[in-house]
Structure 1
Amino acid sequence: MKKLVLIVLMIVCVTGFANAQEKFNGIDVNLGNLYRMSDAKTRSISPENFNGEKGKGGMATTGTGAGASKELGQTWKVSPSVVIKKHTTYTIAEIDGSGAIQHIWMTPTGNWRFSIIRFYWDDETTPSVEAPVGDFFCMGWGKYSPLQSLAVVVNPGSAFNCYWPMPFRKKCRITMENIDDADMVLYYQVDYSLTDVSRDAGYFHAQFRRVNPLPLKKDYVLVDGIVGKGQYVGTYLAYGSLKNGWWGEGEIKFFMDGDTKFPTINGTGTEDYFCGSYDFDTHHKNKAGVESSEYTEFCSPYTGLPQVIRGDGHYEVAQRFGLYRWHITDPIRFDKDLKVTIQDLGWHADGRYMPLQDDIASVVYWYQSDPHGAFPVFPSKDQLEVN
C-alpha cells in the first residue's frame, strides 16, 4: 500500500512540475499529454557522439575505452568519457539552431569545486550559468549524498542529473573548466530537442557565490543585479556552521521591482524557507528513557536537506549542510529587477537571536529575458576550496 501511495505521489509531482513550466513549441513535458505527436527532433551529445549528429553515434575508433575494447572494435564503448587536462576548458556541447536542453547527466572525477560549468545562450559572450559543478548539482561540499528531487537528482556513484528545461533560440554552448592541478575524467550526456521556441520562453540562469566567513551582522547576498523580467525558481545552500548551537534562524528576503530597504517577500527563518521546522530535528528516547535529538536528512520533490556532515570529532570537526528549495509550483516572478538575501542568524540558549559568521556558498536558479546583468567576478581557486 505504501509503495502504491508513493508511486501516485511521484506521478502527481512530476505532472505538476511539467504543468508549472513555460512550454516551448513542439515539446511535450506533461505526463498528461506525453502521447501527443511532435515535430521536435530528439538529439543527444556524449563522448560517443560529440556533436549530437543523426546516425553518427558509436563511430569512434579512439578514445578512453579503446584499450578495453580493442578485441571488440568500433561501436563497443570505444569513447565513453573524456579527459580534461589541468588548467584547460573543454566544450561539452555546442548546438546550433533553436531548441531546449531537457536532461543532463554527468559524473565528474576530481575536486568538484575546481570544475566550473558554464552555459552560454545564443550569441552571448558571458555565461548565463556559472558555478562549480558540485554546487550546481547540489553537492557543494565535495562529498556524495543521495538526492531525489524533480529538478536535480544525484544517484549512487555520484551520478549528477539535471532536469531544468533550458530553451535557446540560436545556439547553446556548454563548457567545463578544470582549474585544478590534476587532470579529471568526465562522463556526460546532454539530451535535447531541436524545435521552435515560444516567444515567452525565458533563458535559464544560475549563479554561484561564496563568503567565508560572512562579516558580522551582514546579510548573505544570494543574488543581486538581476535586471529584466523573469522568475526565480530555486536555491541551493552549502552551509558550514562555524559555531556551536542552532544556526537556522535567518530570514530570506526578496527585493523586487524597485524595493529598497524593505522587501516584498520576507521569510520567517532558514529552516522555514527550506520547508522544515524546529531545527530539522528528530526526537527520540534511548532504552533508558533519555530523550535526544539529531538532524534528519530528507528529500522531497521541491525541498530537502539531503546532506548533513556531522564531523568525526578528530580533524574533520566542522558541521556542514546542503539544502535545496525549488520554486517550481511557486516561482517568484519579477518585472524589472531582483535581489535576494538571507541572514546568518542563530539562537542563544538563553532565548536570544545570535548573529553568526559562517561559511556560506550558494547557487541560485532563475529564468529571465536576456540580456542578463553582469555576474560578480568568479571566486579564485583559494576562495573556492573547502577546508
Structure 2
Amino acid sequence: MDLSSISALNDRQTRSISPENFTGAVGGGGRATGGTGAWNARDLGPGWKISPSVDIAAGETFELASIEGAGWISHVWITTHTDNWRTLLLRAYWDGSTEPAVEVPYGDFFCNGWGVFAQVSSQVIAANPHGGFNSYWPMPFRTGARLTLENTSDVQVRVYYQITYEVGGDHSAEGYFHAQWRRSNPLADKVPHTLLDGIEGSGQYVGTYLAWGVNSNGWWGEGEIKFYLDSDDEFPTICGTGTEDYFGGAWNFDVPGQGYTPYTTPYLGLPQVIRPDGLYVSQQRFGMYRWHLPDPIRFRERLRVTIQALGWRSGWRYLPLHDDIASTAIFYLDRPTAHRPATPSADDLEVHLGTAPVPDLGSTPPRAPRA
C-alpha cells in the first residue's frame, strides 16, 4: 500500500453500511429494534447488537449496499458458513448500470473457491480464520454504486457484512472495477481455458485467481498464460512460461521432501493445496492468486486472456489436460459494463469434493449429499 497519501487532508467523508445501518446514514448505526440478534439482546434493548446479520432466503437476491453520488468503496468485510461459499453470487453495479461489472461466486472472489478455508494474506484480499473475508480492492464510482448477493441454493443463508466507503471526490479519471468468473469443467481437449474474451475499451488487467482441480496423475502446470492486447490476433503480446511461474513459484511448487508447498504474499500465492484423503476426496485441488498491482497489464482497445492446461506424457511430450478450472479475472475499464459470460447456474457453480456422508441406517434416515 502507498502510505504517501494517508496524511493528506481532503473533503471526503467515510460511511459504512452493515445490518446495523443499511443505508450508511449519518448517525444511523445501532438504532435497530429488530433483527437476527433481537432475542439475544432482549435484556439489553436498542444499541446492543440487535441487527448484526441478515438472512437471505433460497433463490433470493439481497441488496448489500445502495450508494448515491460519487465515491469509492475502500473495504468489504463479510462472512457466512463455508457451505455457502459457492452458492452465493456477488455482484456490483456502477453508475446506474443494469448489467453487473462484478459477477463472481462469493468464495472465489475472496480466493477460497473450493468451500474449504485457506488463509490468504495479500494486499487486496485477506481471508482470515474462519472465513472472515476482506477486500481492499479500490472500487470508485461517479454517480452511484450497488452491491448484491444472490443465494442460488435451496436453503436460507445467514450473512454478516460491513462495507466501508467514502463519499465525495472526483473519480472521472479512474477506471471502473470489474471481475468475471468462468469455469471449464472439464476443459475441452487441446483448448485453453478462457479467463477473459471480448473486452473492449481502455484499462488495465490487475488480478487472477484460479481454483484448479486436477483430473489426472502427474504434474499439471506446464501451460502458459497469454494476454492478447489491442490488435493481437493469433499470437499474444504477453506469453508466460508456465503456470507456477506466473504465480511466482517454480519447479512445480515442489519443495523436496515436502511436496506442494502453500505460500501467501502481498502480490501472489498458492494458499490452498487440497490433497486426496484416500476415500472420497480422490483428486488434488489448488487455489492460486496473482495481483498485478506494481505491474498492471495495460491495454487501450481490447483484451483477451487464456491459460493452457498441460502435463507430461511419455517421451517428454506435453499432455493436454482436461481439468476443472475456475477463474476470476479482475480488471479496471473506462466504462461500467463489459462483455461477460452468461450467469452461471447452480450446477455450474457446484463443487464436487466427493464428501457424501455415509448414512447410519440404524438410527437416522440417510441425509442428502452436500455439494
> TM-score normalised by the shorter chain: which range applies?
over 0.9
Which one of the candidate residues 177, 194, 203 is aligned to 1:221? Answer: 194
Which one of the candidate residues 121, 127, 130 is aligned to 1:154? Answer: 127
Alignment of 1:31-70 (within 5 A): 31-70=3-42
User: Given that residues 223 and 340 in structure 1 are in contact (C-alpha distance below 8 angstroms), is that contact kept between their aligned partners in structure 2?
Assistant: yes
Q: Which residue of 2 aligns with 1:325?
A: 290
Q: Which residue of 1 aligns with 2:269?
A: 304
Letter in 2 for 1:185: R
SS, match of residue 308 in structure 1: strand
User: Given that residues 176 and 336 in structure 2 are in contact (C-alpha distance below 8 angstroms), is that contact kept between their aligned partners in structure 1?
Assistant: no
Distance across 1 between alignment mates of 2:223 and 2:249: 13
Distance across 2 between alignment mates of 1:72 and 1:383: 45
Q: Which residue of 1 aligns with 2:326?
A: 361
Greater helix proportion? 1
SS, match of residue 340 in structure 1: strand
RMSD: 1.0
Distance across 2 between alignment mates of 1:105 and 1:38: 25
Deviation at 1:111, TM superposition (A): 2.2
Letter in 1 for 2:276: G
Q: Which runs of 4+ in 1 moved over 3 A?
A: none
Structure 2: segments with no counterpart, 5+ residues: 353-371
Deviation at 1:33, TM superposition (A): 3.0
Tell me if 1:105 matches 2:73.
Answer: no
Distance 1:372 1:144, change over 3 A: same
Q: Which residue of 1 aligns with 2:158?
A: 185
Distance across 2 between alignment mates of 1:169 and 1:130: 20
Deviation at 1:195, TM superposition (A): 1.4
SS, match of residue 190 in structure 2: coil
Distance 1:126 1:247, change over 3 A: same
SS, match of residue 113 in structure 1: coil
Deviation at 1:371, TM superposition (A): 4.6
Q: Which residue of 2 aligns with 1:71?
A: 43
Distance across 2 between alignment mates of 1:247 and 1:341: 16
Q: Deviation digits for residues 279-317 of structure 1, max 9, x if unmatched? A: 001113xxxxxxxx4100000000000000002010111
Distance across 2 between alignment mates of 1:198 and 1:205: 16
Q: Which residue of 1 aligns with 2:360?
A: none
Q: Deviation digits for residues 210-250 of structure 1, max 9, x if unmatched? A: 01000110010011111000000000000000000000000
SS, match of residue 41 in structure 2: coil
Q: Deviation digits for residues 159-192 of structure 1, max 9, x if unmatched? A: 0000000000011000000010000000000000
Letter in 1 for 2:281: E
Q: Which residue of 1 aligns with 2:304?
A: 339
Structure 1: segments with no counterpart, 5+ residues: 1-13, 16-30, 285-292
Deviation at 1:374, TM superposition (A): 2.5
User: Given that residues 95 and 336 in structure 2 are in contact (C-alpha distance below 8 angstroms), is that contact kept between their aligned partners in structure 1?
Assistant: no
User: Given that residues 199 and 302 in structure 2 are in contact (C-alpha distance below 8 angstroms), is that contact kept between their aligned partners in structure 1?
Assistant: yes
User: Given that residues 104 and 181 in structure 2 are in contact (C-alpha distance below 8 angstroms), is that contact kept between their aligned partners in structure 1?
Assistant: yes
User: Given that residues 245 and 348 in structure 1 are in contact (C-alpha distance below 8 angstroms), is that contact kept between their aligned partners in structure 2?
Assistant: no
Which TM-score applies when normalising by structure 2? 0.93
Alignment of 1:268-287 (within 5 A): 268-284=241-257
Percent of pairs with identical residues? 54
Tell me if 1:176 matches 2:188.
Answer: no
SS, match of residue 43 in structure 1: strand
User: Given that residues 167 and 197 in structure 1 are in contact (C-alpha distance below 8 angstroms), is that contact kept between their aligned partners in structure 2?
Assistant: no
Which one of the candidate residues 231, 253, 262 is aligned to 2:204? Answer: 231
Distance across 2 between alignment mates of 1:62 and 1:175: 22
Distance across 2 between alignment mates of 1:357 and 1:116: 26
Tell me if 1:194 matches 2:167.
Answer: yes
